[in-house]
A and B are shown apart, each in its own frame.
Chain A
Amino acid sequence: MQWLYLYFPSLQLDSLLHQQAYNHACVLVDKNQVVQANPQARQLGIKNGTGLAQAALLCAQIKVITYNAKQEQRLLSQLAQCLYQTSATLYLDPPQGLLLQTSDMLRLYEGLAAYWQQLQHPLKERSLNYHYASAHSPLAAKVLAQAGNDRLLTHQSDATRLLSQLPIQHAGLGHKLALQLERLGLNTLGQAQALPRCALGQRLGKTLVTYLQQLEDCSAPSRPAYQPPERFRQRLELLYEIEHSTALKFPLKRMLTDLEAFLAPRQLRAAGLSLGIEYREHESQRMHVGCSDGEYKAEPWLALFALKLEQLKLPAPIIAISLNTKGQMPWAPLSQQLFEPTGGKLTSGQLISRLQSKLGDHAVQQVYLHDDHRPERSFYQGMPQSHNQTQQATTSLRPSLLLTLPKALHHKPDHHWCILSGPERIQSGWWDNVNICRDYFIARNSCGQVCWLFRTPAEDWFLHGYFS
């Protein structure tokens, strides 16, 4: 079996810098020590392991970000998700490594070179720094990659030769063990491999023996291989604090492009997206945008978010955003008709979601019928959804415009009113305590309005609607 190991020495920093163009010295710091530094910082002499105070002395304007192991883990699985398009079997090796099994993929790509070219593409796109090596065993590949070997070795003998020449300090053995070996006069890994295992085990402990054994062990790691997630979820920590909601569009666009890359190969559409906004010293907020037809492309989603964002008032600067899908559904052809009379630019679902994002969900409604004799309950206005009209409309004439609350008439209808039809008695609702007993008349008043009036048993008159 053939293995390829990809090592990303500055994964978190690289992705941060890629998402937001920043061309000044910038370092990641963990426990007051620099763990990742960009080229600008390296030029100033800042190395991994430099103390924070020293780094600040070297460059006063240096941008310092806290190293976040969880975030890096998340980035690693995002990367795995991306490489999964190229390579079928891969293993996460946190915090900064990915192990890929190449032997199965070589037949598909017809050779290691073509496969490697395909694999490099997403890494270059994200402008990541990486080291790589291929070898016969997972551990050998890892050790060679972390030593910065950057070579694709097809023969086991090449890998063994390189391993045996490797200085013991770079063999990934841990500082203490490497020092012990050096003191014994073993400067390269090959010298340690040449010694009898049982003697080494007795003197230096089990760790070294296991390590040496694993170097030659070609079998797959015992942990399960990477499985891509079912749902899209991404979080982005911003290098700048954002104080205007319109500026949020740029990082959001990148996330939506990732969303598109996630949904398109799965033939899925997202029914809705939820954007989490985290503020500095303020409670975080979630923003929902829906699209009833479902959508996977970044462009329409960005347009929907833009409508929402322009109404957003920021209570504090934004420090991070996160995006996840709300409901995913499989692809379906948007239009069943080939010869539609007019080529619509949007579907009705897209129009509805656009209107809803600007005006609010409750401003856009559809009318549904309800089986009830009481006029105000015989229909209702609800959210637009796939309409399934089963109810039959009543046969007696109803006004097209109905007042929400009947308006009391101050005077009884007199000779200025002309009765057109009536009375129609509606007595209903004894079962749910909204009992009505009304006699309805259709009458035209002196202004020519055709009104729907009713009279209660107490001889009060009300106007309830217009036959507009």
Chain B
Amino acid sequence: MALLQLEKDRLVWRARQVTGPDQRRQSSSYPTLDAHLQGGWPQTGLVELACGSTGIGELRLLFPLLAKAQARLQVWINPPAQLNGQALAQYGISLSQTLLIRCQNPQHALWSAEQSLNSGCCSHLILWAKSLTAPQAKRLQVSAKDNQSLMFWLHPQAEPSTSALPVSARFSLAPLATGLHLKIHKYQGQWPQHPCQVDMHELWPSLAMPAYVAAPKPTNAPKNNIKAFPLNTLKLQ
């Protein structure tokens, strides 16, 4: 009986259930990523993103998702630099639904994250924090699930934290000329997946190269395809 109830609530995952895109996923607007994640980001829960260094495209990964859902607040806690309103507005994110929280004390940051999730008026939360303990992650995960919110936890380590943390999904990101290299360490409800290359050229043509340019050529061309910086040609007049 208990097992039946669990299955009904879709808490038990059976390997044979791997079928078409899950209804409870939301599209990330990146076709390759959606294909790898069988539909996209989870609807609710805590997602860990190990970014390595700031500025490799970790927010560009989330912007299409944030631009689509604006019924409730989107809370940003302790971003590593100023959040540029011009950029957010350009990417289609409503500034009136954006709330920015800064606090020095990491405990306060977690407290405000939990409060925001529990208020029920926050749809997405992006938290920068160095580390989370298992009980902290569990509390945030439960708060996010109970209140239909999706929380992203970004941290500057290159590799994700220990696998014991109770999160819905765990990814590590690495930069690529064409976008991002995404390693999927854990994703609730599906088999382990191969790493995925997110092509950002379509959405950000001036920030990422098209895949056919960046692909390694069999010739003796320079490996990284980097142009020399035009120091001499671009003199200020």
Contact of A423 among B54, B87, B234 (CB under 8 A): B234
With a cutoff of 8 Å between Cβ atoms, the chain B residues found around residue A416 in the complex are 226
- Check B59 against A468 for contact (C-beta < 8 Å): yes
Q: Measured between alpha carbons, how far is A341 from B71 in the docked complex, in Å?
A: 9
- Check B100 against A366 for contact (C-beta < 8 Å): yes
Closest residue on chain B to residue A443 by CB atoms? B229
With a cutoff of 8 Å between Cβ atoms, the chain A residues found around residue B71 in the complex are 341
With a cutoff of 8 Å between Cβ atoms, the chain B residues found around residue A387 in the complex are 95-96
Q: Using a Cβ–Cβ cut-off of 8 Å, how many residues does chain B contribute to the interface with A?
A: 63
Report the minimum CB–CB distance from B57 to chain A (whole Å): 7
Given contacts A342-B147, A363-B103, contact A418 B227 (CB under 8 A): yes
With a cutoff of 8 Å between Cβ atoms, the chain A residues found around residue B220 in the complex are none
**A369 in contact (CB, < 8 A):** yes
Closest residue on chain B to residue A388 by CB atoms? B96
Report the minimum CB–CB distance from B120 to chain A (whole Å): 4
Given contacts A379-B86, A394-B90, A402-B82, contact A351 B174 (CB under 8 A): no
- Check B81 against A345 for contact (C-beta < 8 Å): no
Tell me which residues from 117 to 158 in chain B have a Cβ below 8 Å from any Cβ of chain A: 118-122, 147-148
> Using a Cβ cutoff of 8 Å, how many contacts connect chains A and B?
203
With a cutoff of 8 Å between Cβ atoms, the chain A residues found around residue B33 in the complex are none
- Check A368 against B82 for contact (C-beta < 8 Å): no
**A347 in contact (CB, < 8 A):** yes
**A367 in contact (CB, < 8 A):** yes
With a cutoff of 8 Å between Cβ atoms, the chain B residues found around residue A363 in the complex are 101-103
**B65 in contact (CB, < 8 A):** no
- Check B89 against A448 for contact (C-beta < 8 Å): no
Q: Measured between alpha carbons, how far is A342 from B71 in the docked complex, in Å?
A: 10
Given contacts A379-B85, A393-B90, contact A401 B54 (CB under 8 A): yes
Q: Measured between alpha carbons, how far is A459 from B236 in the docked complex, in Å?
A: 9
- Check B90 against A466 for contact (C-beta < 8 Å): no
**A26 in contact (CB, < 8 A):** no
Given contacts A348-B73, A368-B95, contact A403 B82 (CB under 8 A): yes
**B3 in contact (CB, < 8 A):** no
- Check A344 against B119 for contact (C-beta < 8 Å): yes
Contact of A345 among B55, B103, B119 (CB under 8 A): B119
Q: Measured between alpha carbons, how far is A323 from B228 in the docked complex, in Å?
A: 68
**A289 in contact (CB, < 8 A):** no
Report the minimum CB–CB distance from B84 to chain A (whole Å): 5
A397-B206, A467-B55 known; 20 new pairs, CB 8 Å cut-off, are: A344-B72, A348-B72, A367-B85, A367-B95, A367-B98, A368-B85, A369-B86, A381-B83, A393-B90, A398-B87, A400-B84, A442-B207, A448-B56, A448-B174, A449-B53, A449-B175, A450-B57, A459-B236, A468-B54, A468-B55
15 intermolecular pairs with C-beta atoms under 8 Å apart: A342-B147, A348-B99, A348-B119, A363-B103, A365-B100, A367-B85, A387-B95, A413-B231, A416-B226, A418-B177, A421-B206, A422-B234, A442-B206, A447-B52, A450-B55
The list of the 6 closest CB pairs from A to B, nearest first, reads: A448-B175, A466-B55, A379-B85, A387-B96, A393-B89, A344-B120
Give residues in B with beta carbon < 8 Å to A: 52-60, 63, 71-73, 79-91, 94-96, 98-103, 108, 111-112, 115-116, 118-122, 147-148, 174-177, 204, 206-207, 224, 226-231, 234, 236
